[in-house]
Amino acid sequence: MILDRFDLSGRSAIVTGAGSGLGRAMAIALAQAGADIVGVGRRREVLEESRGMVEALGRRFLVHPTDVTDSAQVNAMVAHAIAEMGRIDILINNAGGGGSGAGKSLPELTDEDWHSGIDSNLTSAFYCTRAIVPHMLERGGGRIINVASSVGFRAMSGAWMYPIAKAGIVSLTRAIGFNYARDGIRCSCIAPGRFPFRATAETKRAIGERQVAGRIGEPDEIAAAAVFLSSPAADYLSGETLIIDGGVVAAGIIPFSMRPVVEG
């Protein structure tokens, strides 16, 4: 039956940024589909909250505080995850954020600003992937799911490193998918549009009104894709990016104040 092919029972997944937002939603969804989780992020307290949610579903959740911009910490986390879980089938490179230097013009950006944006979003995914690939090769395959952004496909007013790093994530996805295609490693990417889950209801409504679909996205809509991409149902899918933005990038223009025109 087709739904059986979405089952993740017996699998283990590392989810970076599992203590909040989209990462937490993906960790919970993977656990609902049967997977055990290794939760990664810098803040132990939010990972502990996610642990409670996943354990309530009857799945394991290993908390491993890690700064994913530090390769030594990443290597130690991956070694610990493999030792504790026995196997890692899925890596979700979700950790990321804006970095420093918001609102600066290009000449004002410091080296530190550049590295904070590039490293938290792109270098981190490279470090985690580099650490897990030997284990996946040994096991005959695995899944790597990267999280980019719809702004990886277009410029973003006043922002430099974030869209650049997210475009790099899309390219990293293709590189991994291509180079390991015959080794059973499948790599895909999710590029979310606007998911301002921390905003007030009023702000969510106002942001949603400016989206092409007339509403913001919900974390579950990213989590559902993560389950699919982690599952045997996606066995032949690699190197691709799913843009989940309600049609914004499809519009081909900067979406602010833009609504689809209904003709006739």
Ligand X SMILES: NC(=O)c1ccc[n+]([C@@H]2O[C@H](COP(=O)([O-])OP(=O)(O)OC[C@H]3O[C@@H](n4cnc5c(N)ncnc54)[C@H](OP(=O)(O)O)[C@@H]3O)[C@@H](O)[C@H]2O)c1
Binding site for ligand X (CB under 6 A): 16-17, 19-23, 41-43, 46, 66-69, 94-97, 120, 147, 149, 192, 194-196
What is the residue whose two structure tokens read 């509403």?
215
Question: 68 or 78: whose CB is closer to ligand X?
Answer: 68
Cα separation, 124 vs 211, in Å, equals: 30
Cα separation, 156 vs 148, in Å, equals 14
Bridge partners for 40 per DSSP: 16, 64
CB of 103 to ligand X, least distance (A): 18
Q: Which is nearer to ligand X, 89 or 245 (CB)?
A: 245
Q: What's the min distance (Å) between Cβ of 139 and ligand X?
A: 25
Closest residue to bound ligand X by CB: 21
Half-sphere exposure of 99 (CA within 13 A, CB side): 28
Q: Could you tell me the smallest distance in angstroms from the CB atom of residue 42 to ligand X?
A: 3
In three-state secondary structure terms, 53 is helix
Q: How many CA atoms lie within 13 A of 226 on its CB side?
A: 33
Segment (H or E) for 61: strand 61-65
CB-nearer residue toward ligand X: 14 or 46: 46
Does 180 qualify as catalytic in the annotation? no
Nearer to ligand X, 65 or 141 (CB): 65
Q: Least distance to ligand X from the beta carbon of 181, Å?
A: 25
Residues with catalytic function: 162
